[in-house]
Amino acid sequence: MNNESASKGAPEPATATGDSNGSTDKPLVTRTGDVPLTWHCTGCGKPIADGKGWVEVDSGRAYQVMILDKEYSRDHGGLINLADWMNTVPESPHWHAWHKACDPDLNGGGYWIDVSRINTLAKLVHWAGHLGQKNWIGHTNWTEILESIGEYA
């Protein structure tokens, strides 16, 4: 981007480009602004300032739930008895936002993102793409979080 377009506040082309013929010389989408996001602590309910906390999930547990879910499906030929499945496969872990001072398990070792790295809608979209590549993400409440944020964006 040249200095003239930057000084006039022109939209910056996003990195995704292409048309129906696969050409990559035209922007597919442009960003004209951003929407700030405020994460609230699961512990105290107060907003989390940049550098003062994170968003996290127990990714190890999500992976275990994924494995148990696959094993159940394999062992039952893809047929699911809901009551039996609920007694076999544990509940999926939920994402939480924590102040450093409120996190009950500072050494938890789950998957975490500092709020400063996910504090705008554009950053959230980036993380949604990144996390979408994790094989365990579907065994968390990540989709519910995205849908709830989308309702207010």
pLDDT in tens, 87-106: 776 788 999 999 999 999 98
Q: Is residue 85 part of a domain?
A: yes
| Residue 75, helix vs strand vs coil | helix
Distance CA 53, CA 114 (A): 6
pLDDT at 153: 59
Q: What is the pLDDT of residue 20?
A: 55
Total of domains in the chain:
1
Q: What is the mean pLDDT of the chain?
A: 82
* 77 found inside a domain: yes
Q: Is residue 30 part of a domain?
A: no
Place of tokens 């705008």: 120
Residue 69 inside a domain? The answer is: yes
List, for residues 136-150, the tens digit of each pLDDT value: 999 999 999 999 988
Position 97 scores a pLDDT of 96
> Per the domain annotation, does 62 fall within a domain?
yes
* Domain-embedded: residue 19: no
Domain limits at 44?
36-152
Residue 125: inside a domain, yes or no?
Answer: yes
Is residue 84 assigned to a domain? Answer: yes
Residue 93 contacts residue 65 (beta carbons within 8 Å): yes
Residue 30's pLDDT is 73
